[in-house]
Structure 1
């Protein structure tokens, strides 16, 4: 019999001592093992559980619905957001209208790195855009996620240490183990046609590409937001507005001045 993981999330209706023990005892009686448990939101708990048969999960759900102390929110095969919520004790915020947009604040960098690392581990083409104001931690998070995913990061364009604009790759850089990082501002405002030929070549490769400032990137290119699989927004605090005024002002400076700004 193949054992299978499930995700259970419930909201506490009547918080009383021993409630978690009651849930644990019920799972034990049904021979369902608890892998991980954590609070995932105010008044909610999430559990990763392991069952041998689907019938065990059906019985569990039926019994849970008779309990007036909790309300079942989710009982399903775990998604990436479920696993990360249990691991970090909080849910990733997702845009209600645009399901491919995920929002983070600076004190959630650990959660962001874990999220991107899981995306980077998946094989094949993936185009990720990341928005955020200067010095909020975008590039550092991408690099950390690459390390966590055991992938090599490669800057196609960047201002992290100095202005980088690549026009070609060497032979061993054509690898699906690389994470290709493109700064939309640098590529759009400072690059030549040779660089754009390289960008188009990379965009056709079945690998992970991460574009910082995707809104700027698409302004003067043939690419659109529909080409992106995920959009990540990173803010210092939840109310911070992501604008491009500082980028537009910096574009009036010379190339040498431009290299001093960390976008």
Structure 2
């Protein structure tokens, strides 16, 4: 399949002749109009630009990036995540050498933020404040190695409250690595629907096995994992929860 993206044609995947054929073991190819299917994701990736969701910005510090990823995740919408991160950044929480305490961060997280016309309160001020305070201190006293993406991720997983998904999120954003996958609930739902993943799934135990399957899927699509998971995340978020 080829798709026109920003004035250029990009190869995404070779279309199997039979929509019932498998793109890879367990994953039927389908058709682009079958939502979702492997062919649908190939089509969506083919018309997408480079991912922007989930990035703070290439020019910011590791403290900013870890702060953004620790503040997000389960139960926190992307809009609230961005708003709360901006509020903490404006207060200098992520400045080098600042090392704020948990009480200071919690007080800031308890302030409502504006999302459009609404005033919204952050859901987990005490829990995330403690994790963030510890993380900001530890990355200054024992910074992760940046020459190896997987070693970088393992190092981050030593931080309180940082599991494989959050560590992968930071690794992807900070190092620009496609050796890891950000497997949140939206990506896992998409994988279940196309047969890429199988139940039962237990996280974090099964994270690396799911990640291997996801990266193999990206190879089969001839597409960057960072683009595939960004496209899946955006589409599945818009589709809604559904029956999975």
* TM value normalised by structure 2: 0.29
- Choose between structure 1 and 2: higher helix proportion: 2
- Choose between structure 1 and 2: higher strand proportion: 1
